[in-house]
Structure 1
C-alpha cells in the first residue's frame, strides 16, 4: 500500500475539530457503582518494545483501568491530566496537524471517577473488558463508555499500543513516541483493499482475497495488526493467569477471569474480533467502526457474539470509492461465512445515522466549532454517546453475563438513529452464484 493510501486511512480515522474554550459536559454514569480509575503497565518479556530495535527492551503496554468502586464519587478527575495532558495531548495535535488549543476541552473537562478508589466486590466477580484505542489515537478516547460500563459492574482495561498510539510515558520514565515513518508497503495491497471495499461483485472480491492475504503482512498496517493482536493476547493471558501488574492486583482480585470481552474503536475494534476468537475466556467482542483487516476473518465466523457498530457510510464513507448504498458495507465480507451471511444472530450489525468515524470517541461531545459536522458528523454528542453506551452495555450484559437478549432490541429501539444493517448485497451475490 502506498504512503498516500495509508495517510488516507489515518486521516479518515482522525478528523478532529476545534474544541470549545470552556469545559464540556460529558454524560454521567448511570450504574449502581461508583467508578474508580488507576493507571498501570503490562510487560510482555517475550517481545521487544520496538520489534525493529533489539535494544528497545521488553514490550510495555501502558493501561488505564476503570472499575466498580465503593462509595460515591466526590469531585471527580480531569478527563486528561498529568503526562496524558503534557505528553499525549500535544502528540495528538502533532500527529494530525492540529493546534494544541484545539484540544483544550480534553484537559478542562471533568468526569465523575475517583483515582485509586477502593474496589467494590461481588460474589461472582466482575467481567473484564480489554479495550484498544484507534490508530495514532489515545487510550482515554472512550472514557465515557468505559466509566459507564464500570458503573454497571465491568472492569475495563484500556491498553496503549506503543508506536501506534500518541506519545505515551512508560513506567521506566521513557516516552514511547508515535512511529510516523515507515509507511512503505507492498503496492498490491492498495488495489486489493480497494476491490474488497468497492462492492462491485463476488468475483472481484474472491479474486482480491488471496492477493490481500499475501500482501497484507508486508504493510505498515499488517505489521501493526500482528503487534496489536499479540498485545491484547498478552494482556488477556496475564489477566487469566493472575499475573497482572502489582498495581492492578486489588482491582482484578474482584474480577471474574473466566468472563472476558474484547472491544475497541477503529483499528482497535478490528483487533477485538481477531483476539476474541483466539482466547478461550472471551465471551463476546465489540467493534466500534473498525474495518476488518484480518485475512482469516473474511468469509469466516468469529465464533463468538460480535457487535459491529458502524458509522453512517451512506453519508460519510470511510474509504475512497466505498459505495454509499445502504445495502453494502465492506465489513459485510467479514465475521461470517458468506454462505450463511445474515443468518448468525450472534453477529449484530448496527448503523448509527448521522455519525462519522471519529464520532465513536468522546470527541463527539468534546468538539464544537464550524467544522464539527465535517469531523464527527451532525449527531448530537449526548445522543451519540448514549446510543453507543446503551447498545454496548445491553450486548455485553446479554452475552457476557447471560442476560436477556431482548434488551439489545430495546436499546436499539430507544434510539431512532440506530438501524440494524442486513448484508443484503452479499446475500444477493451468494444467491446468484448458487444459481450458476
Structure 2
C-alpha cells in the first residue's frame, strides 16, 4: 500500500470493494463484483476486510464438487475494503470471467493486484451459470443443475460416461495440436462438436452475450454505473480476460465487440482451448491476445494437457501469443490453489503455487499496461515456459 497525506490525516492507497446489481438490455440481472483503487485513513486499513467465501457459495461448492466442507472457510478474508472512497482519477477497466462451475471471486488475489496497479476490475456473476449469484436484496440464484456439462462433470455424475468423454478428449486434443494451422482451423468446429466441449456451447453463448451487453452499456454511459467506482472509469481502455470457459468467452466477446470499432484493447485466455461457436465459422483475433496454457491437469486417472492447443492462433495472427507452462495444472491459474487442502485432490501441478500466482499477476499487469496504456517494459515469462508468437 502507498501512503498519502490529506491535510494532517495520513491516507493509504487501498483496494476498494463493492458489489453492484446490473440490469442488461435483454432483462438479465448480473451481479458485479468490483475492485478499484481507493483511499482510506490508516485506521480503516485495520478494520474488517471482505470475505472470500459466503455461506451459500460454500454449500453449493461442497455439494457439486464433492470436496469436504472443512476445505473451505467462510472466515477467510481478502485484502479488499468496503465502504472506502474511490481514488480520484480515471482508471482503465479489466473485466474478468470465471470458469465453468465456479464463481466471480475465484481469482480474487489476482483482481486485487490489478486494482492496486491502477485498474478498475469487474467480475460478473451470471445467474444460472455461476455457482451462486447473490443480489443486494438477498436473493440468491444457484447454478442451473440441468446443464449437460454440469450433469456430466459433477461429483454425482455417471463416472463411466465421464471416463469415456475424458479418454476421447485426450486422444482428440493430442491429434489437434499436431495439425497445421490451416487444418487446425478447419477441424476445430468438429473437435468441439465431437468432444466434451459441445456441452459448454450454450453456456458460452449466453455468457458471451452478457459480456457484450455489459461493455456496450458501460461505453454508452449507462446511468446504472453512476454512484459506483465505474462512474469515472476510462472506458476507452478496456481489457477482458478469464480462466477456462471464462477465457474462451472473453475472446469470443472481444471479437464481437470489435467487429466495427476497437472497443476492447486486449484479451487473455487462461488455460482453455479457444473454440469457436456454431454461429460463427472462425474468429479473426484482430485484438492483442495472449493464451497462457498449462499441461498437467488430471481428470480421474487420465492426464489432459492444454499445451500448444492455441499455437495455430498465435502463428496465424500478429500480436497474438501463447505461453506454455508444462508443470502448471488447470487450477494453478486460479486463487483456489492457495487453499492448501485442495492439494489432497490431485488438481494441482508440481509448480510452486504462490510463486506462479505472483508471476501471473505481474504478467497480467505488464501485458495490460502495454496494450492499454502504452507502457512498455520487460517482464519475463515463467522459467522453463515456451513462447509461441509475439507478446
* Native 8 Å contact 2:255 2:286 kept in 1: yes
Q: Does 2:335 match 1:362?
A: yes
Q: Give TM-score, length-normalised by structure 2.
A: 0.80
Cα deviation digits, residues 217-268 of structure 1 (max 9, x gap):
x94411111101001111112211121535x533122211111110111111
Q: Does 2:14 match 1:34?
A: yes
Question: Aligned-pair distance for 1:146?
Answer: 0.7
What SS is found at the alignment partner of 1:245? helix
CA RMSD of aligned residues (A): 3.5
What corresponds to 1:44 in structure 2?
24
Q: Does 2:325 match 1:352?
A: yes
Q: Which residue, out of 247, 258, 267, partners 2:245?
A: 267
Asked which structure has the greater RCO (Cα within 8 Å, sep 6+), the reply is: 1
Q: Which moved more, 1:230-239 or 1:109-118?
A: 109-118
Q: Distance in 2 between matches of 1:98 and 1:116?
A: 33
Residues 262-341 of structure 1: pairs in structure 2 closer than 5 A: 262-279=240-257, 280-295=262-277, 300-311=283-294, 313=295, 315-316=296-297, 329-333=308-312, 335-336=313-314, 340-341=315-316
Q: Which moved more, 1:141-150 or 1:95-104?
A: 95-104
Q: Distance in 2 between matches of 1:322 and 1:207?
A: 26
Q: Does 2:107 match 1:128?
A: no
* Native 8 Å contact 2:39 2:85 kept in 1: yes
What SS is found at the alignment partner of 2:86? coil
The number of equivalent residue pairs is 358
What corresponds to 2:218 in structure 1?
239
The gaps in structure 2 that reach 5 residues or longer are: 4-11, 152-160
What corresponds to 1:156 in structure 2?
121
Cα deviation digits, residues 130-169 of structure 1 (max 9, x gap):
1111101111111111111111110000001222211232
Describe the shift of the 1:258–1:360 C-alpha distance in structure 2 as closer, same or farther (beyond 3 A): same
Describe the shift of the 1:402–1:77 C-alpha distance in structure 2 as closer, same or farther (beyond 3 A): farther
Q: Give TM-score, length-normalised by structure 1.
A: 0.72
* Native 8 Å contact 1:162 1:178 kept in 2: yes
Residues 17-416 of structure 1: pairs in structure 2 closer than 5 A: 33-46=13-26, 58-71=27-40, 74-75=45-46, 77-78=48-49, 80=51, 84-104=53-73, 107-122=74-89, 125-183=90-148, 195=172, 198=175, 199-202=177-180, 205=184, 208-209=187-188, 211=190, 219-243=198-222, 245=224, 249-279=227-257, 280-295=262-277, 300-311=283-294, 313=295, 315-316=296-297, 329-333=308-312, 335-336=313-314, 340-341=315-316, 344=318, 346-368=319-341, 371=344, 374-404=346-376, 407=377, 410-412=378-380, 415-416=382-383
Q: Does 2:360 match 1:421?
A: no
Q: Distance in 2 between matches of 1:380 and 1:213?
A: 32
